[in-house]
Each structure stands twice: as C-alpha cells, then as structure tokens.
Amino acid sequence: MKQTPGAREEVLKILHIIKGIMRGLITNKHFNLFFDWFYPSYLSPMIEGALNAFYDDDQVVHACVKLLAEMVQNRNNRIRFDTWNINGLVVFKEAAKYVVKLLQLWDCMK
C-alpha cells in the first residue's frame, strides 16, 4: 500500500472523514448504530493497514490516534457501560489494542 501513488493522501482523507462522522454522533443511539456497523469489518482493517504501512509517517499516525481519541471520547455520554451493551468496553479495548500495536511497530515494547 505504501508504494501506491496517492495512497497516503487517500488514507489521510478517509481517517479525517471517519473522525468527522464520529464527531457528529452526539447521542448514544447514533453512536451505537454507527459503531455496530463500523467495528467488526471496517475499523480493524483500516487502522491496522494504515499503521502497518505508514507507522513511520507522523501525519498518518497522528490521524489514526486522533480517530481513536474521538472514538473513546465520551461526549454527551454517548458511550454507555451498561451490562446489556458492551460497546463501551469494546471501544476502549480496541483503542488500547492499536496503541499497543503502534508501540510495538516503533520497537518501544518487546
């Protein structure tokens, strides 16, 4: 992916668009609908692919971290930690997984 011309710009564009969409999700219902659609099939390939290919590019890493920060920010109590809805726990687990992955790519953790 790194050798493809324009891939970096497309990755940055997608990360900024998804972050903007998440910023607009201010209610619990909308956040849960988006997260149920986005989490299993789109989040992992997008973040892992971007970090694996561009872990040495500061702008891409910054965009990934900002997306993760927007995902875990509990603006207007949009993330709930109820016993019947585990999305709140999954959000933080996934964010922590990608931070650890980034640190492993940078050889900060063995």
Q: Which of 98, 66, 65, 95 is CA-nearest to residue 79?
A: 95
Q: Name the packing angle between helices 87-105 and 28-38 (round to 10°).
A: 50
From the centroid of its chain, how far is CA 41? 12
Alpha carbons within 13 angstroms on the beta-carbon side of residue 55 total 16
For the whole model, what pTM was predicted? 0.81
Q: What is the pLDDT of residues 1-57, one digit of tens each?
A: 667 889 999 999 999 999 999 999 888 888 888 988 988 789 888 998 998 899 889
Q: What is the DSSP letter of 77?
A: G
Q: What is the pLDDT of residues 85-99, one digit of tens each?
A: 677 788 888 889 888
